[in-house]
Amino acid sequence: MNVSQGVFILLSAVVLIGAAGVVLHRNLFRAALFLILSFVGVSGLYILLEAELLAMVQLLLYVGAIAILIVFAIMVSRQLMSPQFRDRNEQWVGGLLVAVVLFAVLAFILLQVNWPTAEAAVPEDAIAQLGQALVEGDQFVLPFEVASVLLMVALVGAVIIAREK
């Protein structure tokens, strides 16, 4: 066990405890805060993977935008947060079973496979390369543009749906 493995275990614990809080906590506002904890942990994992840009984007978009939107939506519909509110449906046992079985299968497979990993240092200009790749004609410019169109459509759609008549 070395330092980065120790850090990994710590961060994974943060991520998984946060995730467990999200699905188990009865108070939805607290659940959303656990979601943010989990997002921050994931961002830490990205730093451990030496993807600093993605880590920051994760903080900026997930914590700064998505999580805050969720908290906001919870505040708007706050009358529903009464303690009597049942937040688990009838199929939760089945859901739990599916999740556990899926995890068992996935873990079994993941440990069986011999991944073709190769050690290499991340290049100094990884971020610049990423920027180039996103706009280079023969690389990822099409998905990039489609994503921007999707964002635009989603934005306009969200405004139209949520606007009061």
Partner 1 sequence: MGFWNFVLNFWTELGAWVGNVLSGWGLPPWAVNLIADVLGVLVLVVIGVAAVLIFTPMERKVIARMQDRPGPNRVWPYGLLQAIPDAIKMLTKEDIVPEKADRQLHMLAPILVVIPSLLVYAVLPWGPRIIGQDLNVGVLYIVAISTIHILAVLIAAWGSDNKFALLSAFRVVNQLLAYEVPMILSILAVVLFTKTMSTQGIVEAQTLPYFLVMPIAGFVFLVCALAETNRSPNDLLEADSELVAGYMVEYSGMKFAMFFIAEYVNMFASAILLSTLFLGGYKFFGLENAAPVLTPFIVFGKASFVIFLMLWFRATFPRMRFDHLVGFSWKFLVPLSLVNLILAGIAVKIPVADPRWEPWVQGGVMAIASLVIIAATAWILNRTARKLEGAPALKRIVAAER
Partner 2 sequence: MQVPLSWYLIVAAALFCIGLYGALSRRNAIGILMGVELMLNSVNINLLAFWRHIEVARGTLTGQVFAIIVITVAAAEAAVGLALIISAYRHRKTVDVEDMDLMKL
Binding mask 61-100 for partner 2 (x = CB under 8 A): xx--xx--xx-xxx-xx--x----xxxxx-xx-xxx-xxx
47 binds, among partner 1, partner 2, none (CB under 5 to 8 A by kind): none
Contact 62, 39 (CB under 8 A): yes
Contact 46, 56 (CB under 8 A): no
The stretch among 71-79, 84-92, 104-112, 113-121 that binds partner 1 (CB under 8 A) is 71-79
Query: Does 59 interact with partner 1 (rule: CB under 8 A)?
Result: yes
75 binds, among partner 2, partner 1, none (CB under 5 to 8 A by kind): partner 1
Q: How far apart are CA 63 and CA 37, in angstroms?
A: 9
Q: How far is the CB of 160 from partner 2 (least distance, A)?
A: 8
Contact 39, 67 (CB under 8 A): yes
Other Cβ atoms within 10 Å of 160 Cβ, number: 8
Among 19, 33, 45, 48, binds partner 1 (CB under 8 A): 33
Enter the tokens of residue 77.
Answer: 């519909």
Length of the chain: 165
List binders of partner 1 among 82-121 (CB under 8 A): none
